Amino acid sequence: MANENQLQSIIAHCKEYGFIFQSSEIYDGLGAVYDYGQYGAELKKNIRDYWWKSMTQMHDNIVGIDAAIFMHPTVWKASGHVDNFSDPMIDNRDSKKRYRVDHLIEAHAETLEKEAADALLQKMDSLLAADDFAGLKTLIEENKIKCSVSDTANWTDVRQFNLMFATEMGAVASDNPEENKVYLRPETAQGIFVNFLNVQKTGRMKIPFGIAQTGKAFRNEIVARGFIFRMREFEQMEMQFFVRPGTQKEWYEYWKETRMKWHLSLGIPQEHYRFHDHVKLAHYADAACDIEYDFPMGFKEVEGIHSRTDFDLKNHQQFSGKKLTYFDTELNQHYIPYVVETSIGLDRTVMMLLSEAYKEEDLSTEEKKDSRVVLKFPPLVAPIKLAILPLLKKDGLPEIARELQNECRPYFKCFYEEKDTIGKRYRRQDAIGTPFCVTIDHQTKEDQTVTIRYRDEMTQERIHISQVRELVMKAIQAF
């Protein structure tokens, strides 16, 4: 269920606790661009590592690469991005505000009763599928949809806008700027396609096999909103799986199931996810669906799974004039492989985990009012795994605590703190999602036991100091 307040609380929390800041904040920020702070960067890295490991380490037949952001300009002609990577937009003449047509209509649908909303969205989907721009404008007018800024329905025609950022390469000014034009990649996938044969040959890969990659992508999103849900600079984690033509349906189903299992392994309940099958297929796909998560704004895409046919390789072969076929020794046949792609946004996954983890808990008792904000991250992705807290700054307690820190820090991220009361220190760790805190006190000196405190239940127990490392390691074990 949509919950705008929760989203605002998460944004404020992320800023207050060093997870996510607006880019160039001291200059009033840059639209839909964000920076990750000290805890956000750890969280993001842990998710990226988990995805990378699940693809490249847990599969014999998937390898990872790291392709450049800049690519030859013809790549984007071959991929269809120059001609097709655009969204239908409409401008309000009074406010000069530009809207993505689907977002404008969807926002209006949210104000309607379910039946009317469904009918409207169905109509919109079929007009979008037919690229019927005049029909979309009529739909907006018939429904008396207004601009939220000017409150008028004074609309331009619907037009397509390309979402790629372009820049120039090289210092020499050319008479023809088109010659030096390069794009910031709008997806990481094309870096995989153009390296398909390099990897296949040097890695002696046999079909079916996959190539995985994580990295930045850039889209000049017109309507960028929803915090890190829709950014102009973001990170993707993509895997292209090359298969025999004719087997793509089976692999598509396989990857749908496998990716959903990955999501569930983050400890997020099944009912917070759903599949959404595409009605309007992208120009390259013969089947496609999204894995949607129930964000504070409602169910939205976090990952796409696409059966991309041989579209990309075939076009790169045609545009480059280089053969991109594979020789299948079992079939004794050359062919261009088909591709099933899994494509997940890293920032959206961060947002999903934040939405899932963020809890405001009322801890009031009859005697006193109390509450806490806690991020209940799975230990695997939590920025800090263990906080080590000497009860006092004296009596040799800090030394014991430092010794434990030195024992654990090669294995996972620890946090050492000796200021403030233990209660305050616990709350600060709750707010950044640290799953375990250990307190070193005078009893530790006598019997080498420490108090371990569990974030979610807030229960405590005494364990031997030598058990701490193992306990945390077990909790963060991924596979």
Stretch of 108-116, 298-306, 405-413, 436-444 lying at the interface with ligand ATP (CB under 6 A): 298-306
What is the spatial distance between Cα 164 and Cα 184, in angstroms, rounded to a whole number?
Answer: 7
Rule CB under 6 A: say whether 430 interacts with ligand ATP. Answer: no
Rule CB under 6 A: say whether 338 interacts with ligand ATP. Answer: no
Specify the residue, 343 or 451, whose C-beta has the smaller distance to ligand ATP: 343
Specify the residue, 301 or 328, whose C-beta has the smaller distance to ligand ATP: 301
CB 451 within 8 A of CB 468: no
Rule CB under 6 A: say whether 344 interacts with ligand ATP. Answer: yes
Among 296, 304, 383, 398, binds ligand ATP (CB under 6 A): 304
Minimum CB distance to ligand ATP, residue 223 (Å) = 10
Rule CB under 6 A: say whether 355 interacts with ligand ATP. Answer: no
Contacts with ligand ATP by CB under 6 A: the residue count is 16
Among 219, 244, 259, 308, binds ligand ATP (CB under 6 A): 219
Per CB under 6 A, contacts with ligand ATP among 186-205 are 187
Stretch of 65-73, 118-126, 339-347, 413-421 lying at the interface with ligand ATP (CB under 6 A): 339-347
CB atoms inside a 10 Å sphere around CB 466: 12
Stretch of 230-238, 251-259, 367-375, 409-417 lying at the interface with ligand ATP (CB under 6 A): 230-238
Among 20, 47, 231, 352, binds ligand ATP (CB under 6 A): 231
Among 302, 354, 388, 438, binds ligand ATP (CB under 6 A): 302
Minimum CB distance to ligand ATP, residue 352 (Å) = 9
Name the residue whose CB lies closest to ligand ATP: 345
Rule CB under 6 A: say whether 347 interacts with ligand ATP. Answer: yes
Specify the residue, 11 or 431, whose C-beta has the smaller distance to ligand ATP: 11
Specify the residue, 127 or 205, whose C-beta has the smaller distance to ligand ATP: 127
Stretch of 59-67, 74-82, 173-181, 344-352 lying at the interface with ligand ATP (CB under 6 A): 344-352
Stretch of 54-62, 297-305, 389-397, 412-420 lying at the interface with ligand ATP (CB under 6 A): 297-305
Among 46, 236, 248, 434, binds ligand ATP (CB under 6 A): 236
Rule CB under 6 A: say whether 221 interacts with ligand ATP. Answer: yes
Per CB under 6 A, contacts with ligand ATP among 79-108 are none
Stretch of 103-111, 226-234, 247-255, 323-331 lying at the interface with ligand ATP (CB under 6 A): 226-234
**Three-state DSSP string of the chain:** CCCHHHHHHHHHHHHHCCCEEECCHHHCCCCCCEEECHHHHHHHHHHHHHHHHHHHHCCCCEEECCCCCECCHHHHHHCCHHHHCEEEEEEECCCCCEEEHHHHHHHHHCCCCHHHHHHHHHHHHHHHHCCCHHHHHHHHHHCCCCCCCCCCCCECCCEEEECCCEEECCCCCCCCHHHHEEEECCCCHHHHHCCHHHHHHHCCCCCCEEEEEEEEEECCCCCCCCHHHCCCEEEEEEEEEEECCCCHHHHHHHHHHHHHHHHHCCCCCHHHEEEEECCCCCCCCCEEEEEEEEECCEEEEEEEEEEEECHHHHHHHHHHCCCCCEEECCCCEEECCEEEEEEEEHHHHHHHHHHHHEEEEECCCCCCCCEEEEECCCCCCCCCCEEEEECCCCCCHHHHHHHHHHHHCCCCCEEECCCCCHHHHHHHHHHHCCCEEEEECHHHHHHCEEEEEECCCCCEEEEEHHHHHHHHHHHCCCC
Positions in the binding site for ligand ATP (CB under 6 A): 187, 219, 221, 230-231, 234, 236, 301-304, 343-345, 347-348
